[in-house]
Structure 1
C-alpha cells in the first residue's frame, strides 16, 4: 500500500478537474472587467483565482495561477486609459494574494497527506484484525460489512472471522466494549486465539474457554501496564458447523445479539445471549452452554452488532431488524443470499438513522455453500505439509 498519496478533490471519470473552477473564474473576471464601465473596475477580483486554486489544486498549480493572475492583471489594467487604471496598489494586492494562496495550498496539501497516511494506517490495522475472507471460504457463502461510527477513524472493536479445521468450521462474531486502539488490541487478541483454538480444539466448549482465558490474560496485562481499560470485555457469538451433522449448528452466545436464521419461509431468532460477555463469565459461575440448533440448507445466519439494533431514527425508535428482514424476504426470497442480505440491512440501517451511526456497526451473514468445505481441506493439507504460519488459515 502506498501511504500519504493525496487524493484529488474533484474527479470526473478518474481524472482530476480541480484546475477548472479557478480557470473559469479567471476568464469570468476578465470578461466582466471588459464589459463593465470605467467606474466599475473589477479586475482586482482576480485575486480570488489563486485563492480558489489553493482550496482545490496542488502547490505548483496554485503558484501557476498566482503568476497567471498577476500577469493578467497587468495586461488587462494596461489596456484601459491611464485615468481609469486600478494602479500599483491593487497590483501589490494581487501579488500578495497569490503568494499567500500558494502558502495556504502548501499547508493544505501537507495536512491532507498526513491525514491520508493516518487513514491508510487505520485501514491496514483494520484489515490485519479483520482479515479478508476468500469467496466460499471453508464451505460457507459469506458477506460482511463494517461501518465505523467515526468515519475518519475506520477502526473499532467489532470483529468476525471464519476458521476451518479438522473438527469442522467455526465462526466468531463479536463486539469489544469501548472504542479506539484499546478495543482493536482486544479484538486482535481474541481473533488470534480463535484462529488457533478453532482449528485445533475438537470441543466447542474448549474453544469458548480459551477465548475467556485470553481475555482475562489480556486484561491482566493491560492492568499491569497501568492502562485504564483493564476491565474490558466482549460480547460474542461462537458458531460451529459440525461436519457429521449438516442440518444443525452449535451455538455459544456470550451475551451478544442473538443471530437470525433467515430463510425463504421466514425469519427466526437463534438462542439468545444467555451467558455473560467474554471476560465476565466467572460472575455467572461458568461459560455459557452450547446449544445445538437445526438450520435448513436454504437458511442464512445473520449476525449484527449493537450498532444495528441500537440505531435510532429522528423520534428515537430503534431499527426493527427482524421485521425489516422478514419484510424484505417476503418481497423477494432471493434476498436470503448473504451478499444481498448484508446490503439490505446496511441500507436499511443507514436510511433509518439518517446516516448518523452512534456506534460501530458490523453486519455479517453466512450459510453453507452447495459444494464441500474446500477451505478446510486446503488448510489441513497445508498443516500436514508443514506450511508456514501466517497463511490464509
Structure 2
C-alpha cells in the first residue's frame, strides 16, 4: 500500500527548508546568470537587467522561504553590480531597483504561504495515514500461525482511507480472520469499519463459537446505526459485506467460513483455484430482515466447515477487485488470472506473491484509475513446527571391541 511515512514527511519538510532536493534552486540561479550576461552583451538600446525581477518569482514557486530571500538579495546585488557598469545616462536607476525590491518582498510572502499550505497538506496526509493504521492495524509477520499478506488501495488517493477492512485475531479458540467492505465512502464508512473491527477483536478472542462472533457483528452494526441516528446523522442504510473465517486448532486441514454477502474466498494451491462456499448470510446490517442476530433475536445460520490443505492459500478481495473495469468496460477476470498464473508457477500461491499478482493485475487492467477502494488479503497456515529429534545419549561409552 503506497503510504506517506513519518520519514518521508520529514524529508519533504527538509526539501523546502534548504535549496530544493533535485537541484530546483538551479533554475532561478541559471536565470539570474543568463539575464545578467544578456544585459552585458547587448547594447545600451536593449537593457534586460530589469528582467531580474523574475528570479525571486521563480524561486518562490520551486524553493523554500530562506532560498527565496537569498535569491531576492542576490538579485538586488546583481542588479546594482550590472547596472553600475553602464554610463550614468544608460542606467535603469532607482525606480527599477525599488520595483525589484518590492517584487522580492511579494515573492518571499508567496513562498511562505505556499510552504505553509504544503506542510498543512502533508500534515493532513499524516493524519489520514494514522487513521488508516488505526483501522487497518499493522499485523506482525506470521501472526497467529498464519503467513499473511495484504494490500489496500484507496480510490481517493488524497484521503488514503476508506471503508475496506481486514484483521487477524488469535485466541484460545483458534485464529479468526475478518475481511469486509462497508457500503459508502467518507468518514461514515471509516467509523463503521472501526466499530466492526473493535467488536471482532474482542468477540473473536472470547467467543468459542464462530456463529456467536458473527451475531455480535450484526448487533454492533445495529447499535452503531442507532448511535449515529441519535447524533442526527442518518445512517440507516449502512451495511457491510464481509467474510468471517476461523482456523480451528483441532483441524489443520479445515477452515470455517461465514459469508455476509461477500465474494467467496478462493483456495489457491498447486492443484488449482476453487471458490469456498460458506454459511451464507445477508450483509451485516440486514440481519433484522430475517429475524436473526438482531438485538434480542436468536442465532444466525451455522458456519460452513471446508477442507483447506496446508499448501493452499485463502485469497480474499473486496469488490474494488471484482468490479474493476478495464477497456471496453470489461471486469477484471480474477479467477482466470490467478488460475493461469498458478498453473504456470505454483510458487505464486504464496500469500505475498499472490497479493502482488492481483494488485498489479488490477492496476494494469484499470490503467491505474481505481473506481472503488481495493483490498487484497491472503492467508495460509504456517507449517506445524517439528519437534527436534532427541540427541543420542552420551552418558556411557561403548566398550572397545
TM-score range, shorter chain: 0.7 to 0.9
Asked if residue 180 in structure 1 is aligned to residue 193 in structure 2, the reply is no
Asked if residue 228 in structure 1 is aligned to residue 234 in structure 2, the reply is yes
Q: Offset at 1:74?
A: 1.8
What residue is the counterpart of 1:383 in the other structure? none
Equivalent position SS for 1:315: helix
What residue is the counterpart of 2:394 in the other structure? none
Greater mean deviation of Cα atoms: 106-115 or 165-174: 106-115
- Contact in 2 for aligned 1:308/1:361 (Cα 8 Å): yes
What residue is the counterpart of 1:354 in the other structure? 367
Asked if residue 299 in structure 1 is aligned to residue 312 in structure 2, the reply is yes
What residue is the counterpart of 2:345 in the other structure? 332
**1:121-200 matched pairs, under 5 angstroms:** 121-200=127-206
What residue is the counterpart of 1:114 in the other structure? 120
Match of 1:67 among 62, 73, 92: 73
Match of 1:258 among 264, 283, 305: 264
- Which whole-Å CA distance do the structure 2 matches of 1:43 and 1:299 have between them? 73
Are residues 275 and 36 of structure 1, via their aligned partners in 2, closer, same or farther at CA, if it must alter by over 3 Å? farther
Are residues 104 and 236 of structure 1, via their aligned partners in 2, closer, same or farther at CA, if it must alter by over 3 Å? same
What residue is the counterpart of 1:388 in the other structure? none
What residue is the counterpart of 1:384 in the other structure? none
Q: Offset at 1:285?
A: 4.3
Match of 1:312 among 297, 317, 325: 325
CA deviation vs aligned residue, 1:152-183 (integer Å, no higher than 9, x gap): 11111111000011111000000111112211
TM-score scaled by length of structure 1: 0.88
Aligned residues: 371
Equivalent position SS for 2:28: helix
CA deviation vs aligned residue, 1:322-375 (integer Å, no higher than 9, x gap): 122222222322111111111121111112111111111111111111245xxx
Larger radius of gyration: 2
- List alignment gaps of at least 5 residues for structure 2: 1-5, 293-299, 386-401
TM-score scaled by length of structure 2: 0.86
What residue is the counterpart of 1:22 in the other structure? 28
- Which whole-Å CA distance do the structure 1 matches of 2:54 and 2:366 have between them? 39
Are residues 261 and 33 of structure 1, via their aligned partners in 2, closer, same or farther at CA, if it must alter by over 3 Å? farther
Q: Offset at 1:22?
A: 2.1
Match of 2:82 among 76, 83, 87: 76
Are residues 42 and 346 of structure 1, via their aligned partners in 2, closer, same or farther at CA, if it must alter by over 3 Å? farther
- Contact in 1 for aligned 2:257/2:278 (Cα 8 Å): no
Give the alignment's Cα RMSD to 1 decimal: 2.4
Q: Offset at 1:36?
A: 4.0
